[in-house]
Amino acid sequence: MSRGAITYTLGMGRWKPGAGDRLREAALSLYLERGFEQATVADIAERAGVTARTFFRYFADKREVLFDDSSALQEKSLAALEGLPTTTSALDAVAAVLETVAQTVGGDRELARKRQAVIMANADLRERELIKLTSLSTALADRLRQRGTGDIEASLAAETSIVVFRVAFSRWVTATDDQVLQDIMRETLDRLRALAASG
Amino acid sequence: MSRGAITYTLGMGRWKPGAGDRLREAALSLYLERGFEQATVADIAERAGVTARTFFRYFADKREVLFDDSSALQEKSLAALEGLPTTTSALDAVAAVLETVAQTVGGDRELARKRQAVIMANADLRERELIKLTSLSTALADRLRQRGTGDIEASLAAETSIVVFRVAFSRWVTATDDQVLQDIMRETLDRLRALAASG
DNA sequence: ACTGTGATGTCACTTGATGACATCACAGTG
DNA sequence: CACTGTGATGTCATCAAGTGACATCACAGT
């Protein structure tokens, strides 16, 4: 919503519009250049042409600037469940969600690599990423329960989707060839199935 | 190591010994009474009879005071892999680890409930818990690879163990009857197997 | 008696984060 | 056209989390 095309066209407020986007870009570049801890919020704000106070009006904290698009991803993921027939198994539902997620996230691999490099280099950022995924998992499990999936199965299926996503995404970002995220997701899920079946 | 029996017996330093343990207790009780954010490090230190500076000599940050025993858990978990025959499948290895974890963590359910209540009430603490489990997962995956498990299978199996742990632990803490953690773990793992097989 | 050491205290400082209030270009409205 | 309300921003003050540097002092070993 707040992210899409700019709504006003000319003669906007006293300040340049798109402060949120400028802050996002400034933050990512500074985190890349100096590392997360070495970049102060004041630095980021300055590069974006605003005050530190304004930074905190857009983002709850210094980490969130890298993650605030996760709510959009969550919405898309949940929407992917809507169309499915009620007969779909929990794991197939998960597969459908992963398909959507891959489509959403799998576009710009270079950007993904930059983001991932920054996140992996800092423990606080890894923490934040994990809780975002867990939040997604919780929401997913809720929906699955609404669809009639058993309590525990819903939790397990949802958490499993996160596992597959994490492993597949890591493979995708690391990969040297140009394999597409979707395929890696599918293959990873298959491998998990095989693992559970054989064990 | 630093946690076991006190090594000195009488006439120890200028200050009362066991500052670390006192800080742990003070923190847990204060987090319970006021909530994590409302309890300052100065408060905790005061209750433990030391200075805030000393708190940070024992614990890297305000959250870590609830989690610094996780390294011991990790060691035990990895040790559980040592005895296993090389023919053991990745998932069976995971089962063995979960057995050990359940034994270690499943002792005092009242304490577990208190800890869990504090952690669940605060997002920062949930983050920290997640990264501790992920760290355990990473270490586990490494060991599995050393045992000859394939790269991806190792990651999947290790992450799966975390999933089972989380779901099972939550059930155990919530449960009204006195089911033992081990049994819940086993059952949860079985359900995950079934889920993957059927899907 | 002398000295080194480890655990702690004290102090100063940076940074993240938040509340309260001021400012001012712009949009409407009469 | 003047008047007013509003939203986004700036300014200022303040608190709490961490961290580095240095001081202190009971104890252990020599």
pLDDT single digits (tens) A88-115: 999 999 999 999 999 999 999 999 999 9
Task: Tell me: pLDDT of A61 over 80.
Answer: yes
Alpha carbon dihedral A22, A28, A31, A34, in 10-degree steps, equals -70
Task: Tell me: pLDDT of A17 over 90.
Answer: no
Judge: B163–A166 Cβ closer than 8 Å, yes or no. Answer: no
Considering the four listed CATH numbers 3.40.50.1370, 1.10.490.10, 3.40.50.2020, 1.10.10.60, the one that applies to the domain covering A19-64 is 1.10.10.60
DSSP 8-class letter at B105: H
Q: Whole-number Å distance, CA B45 to C1' C15?
A: 22
DSSP 8-class letter at B64: G
Chain B: closest CA distance from residue A199 (Å): 5
Q: Which residues of B touch A127 (CB under 8 A)?
A: 127-128, 130-131
C-alpha distances out from residue A85 to A94, A159, B10, B57, B153, Å: 13, 21, 71, 57, 31
Q: What residue segments make up the domains of chain A, in order of their start?
A: 19-64, 69-198
CATH code given to domain B67-198: 1.10.357.10
pTM, 2 dp = 0.93
Question: How far apart are alpha carbons B7 and B161 in whole angstroms?
Answer: 36
What's the one-letter identity of residue A68? D
Task: Tell me: pLDDT of B29 over 80.
Answer: yes
**CB contact residues (below 8 A), chain B span 89-108, against chain A:** 89-92, 94-95
Task: Tell me: pLDDT of A5 over 70.
Answer: no
Which residue is closest to B138 within chain A, CA to CA?
Answer: A167
Q: Give me the CATH topology for the region B19-65.
A: Arc Repressor Mutant, subunit A (1.10.10)
The answer to whether some atom of strand C lies closer than 7 Å to the beta carbon of B168 is no
Tell me what the pLDDT averaged over chain B comes to: 93
DSSP letters for chain A: -TTSS-S--SS-SSS-S-HHHHHHHHHHHHHHHH-TTTS-HHHHHHHHTS-HHHHHHH-SSTTGGGTTTHHHHHHHHHHHHHTS-TT--HHHHHHHHHHHHHHHHSS-HHHHHHHHHHHHT-HHHHHHHHHHHHHHHHHHHHHHHHTT--HHHHHHHHHHHHHHHHHHHHHHHH-SS---HHHHHHHHHHHHHHHHHH-
- Six-digit token string for A27: 């933050």
pLDDT in tens, B34-84: 999 999 999 999 999 999 999 999 999 999 999 999 999 999 999 999 989
- Confidence class for position B14, pLDDT limits 50, 70, 90: confident
**Of residues 51 to 110 in chain A, which lie within 7 A of strand C by their beta carbon?**
52-53, 56, 60-63
pLDDT in tens, A119-165: 999 999 999 999 999 999 999 999 999 999 999 999 999 999 999 99
Can you say how many angstroms the Cα of residue A194 is from the centroid of all Cα atoms in its chain?
A: 27
B184 touches chain A (CB under 8 A): no
- Confidence class for position A14, pLDDT limits 50, 70, 90: confident
Domain A69-198: CATH superfamily, name plus number: Tetracycline Repressor, domain 2 (1.10.357.10)
Task: Tell me: pLDDT of B198 over 90.
Answer: no
pLDDT (0 to 100) of residue B128 = 98
Question: How far apart are alpha carbons B26 and B34 in whole angstroms?
Answer: 12
pLDDT (0 to 100) of residue B12 = 57
Chain B: closest CA distance from residue A85 (Å): 15
**Of residues 24 to 53 in chain B, which lie within 7 A of strand C by their beta carbon?**
49-51, 53
pLDDT (0 to 100) of residue B7 = 41
The answer to whether some atom of strand C lies closer than 7 Å to the beta carbon of A7 is no
pLDDT in tens, A158-191: 999 999 999 999 999 999 999 999 999 999 999 9
In percent, how much of chain B has pLDDT > 70? 93
pLDDT (0 to 100) of residue B5 = 38
